[in-house]
Amino acid sequence: MKGFRLDRPADRWSLGCGLVLVLSLLLSDTVLRAYVALTDAHPFAAGFCKFALLATFGESLAQRMLVGRYLPPRFGLVPRALAWGFLGICITLAFMIFSAGVPLAMSRIGMDWAARALAGPFGTEKLLTAFAISLCLNILFAPVLMVAHKVSDLHIARYEGTLRCLWHLPDVGGLLKSVNWDVMWRLVLFRTVVFFWIPVHTITFLLPEAFRVLFAALLGAVLGLILAWAGSRQAKG
């Protein structure tokens, strides 16, 4: 595991850009209003951009922690950003569907307060509704998303991160056969869903709607670091 060092220009730029992004949203009403207006007017384009930038940066940061470089050979920056952008559109759509559909389903079993609680101030009912949305999202949608992301990773790696992967269709069947499903199940589809995604997406759905996809993209970056740390520990052990 390579430590983060402020004497390295790349690390200083990385930290500086992150601080500028966070402080701009927290301290500038103009930036905040512009962000909310853009997200409301163009949710799918905004979802594409958030994941293309933040989730790709998370993977790049994970590489920095593992091998000491943000962009190691064959990383495939552009293909990864495009793949994450497409997944960002899917995640934006899924958030819309589940945040509306789960409260509706809850109302059919006697919990008529769910939709109202989700839109209201924090309380027990809002927390239960957010948890229910997160649970359904991560059981029904997250496994498909994670497998799709794995296939895109393998396809990019097959073409060594070059742009050639963009005009060749992935051999989905062959790529799925190459997956280590034991690791995929234990680490990605079970542990991260149960111990990471369900809890943090409960927090996600407690946030105002305009910030949910942004928070999810930031969580993707955080998860990349967690998996990088876990991978280094496994390699040492």
184-200 residue pLDDT tens: 888 888 988 999 899 99
How many other CB atoms are found less than 10 A from the CB of residue 112? 12
How much is the pLDDT for 188?
83
Angle between helices 209-236 and 29-41 (to 10 degrees): 90
How much is the pLDDT for 59?
84
pLDDT in tens, 219-229: 877 766 665 55
Q: What is the pTM of this model?
A: 0.86
The closest of 216, 10, 1 to 98, measured between CA atoms, is 216
Angle between helices 9-27 and 56-67 (to 10 degrees): 150
DSSP state of 175: H
How many other CB atoms are found less than 10 A from the CB of residue 123? 11
pLDDT in tens, 195-215: 989 999 999 999 998 889 888
Mean pLDDT of all residues in 4-19: 66
Averaged confidence pLDDT in the chain: 85
pLDDT in tens, 100-140: 999 999 999 999 999 999 999 999 999 999 999 999 999 99
Mean pLDDT of all residues in 64-86: 87
DSSP state of 180: -
The closest of 93, 199, 189 to 147, measured between CA atoms, is 189
How much is the pLDDT for 235?
47
CA-based radius of gyration for the chain: 19
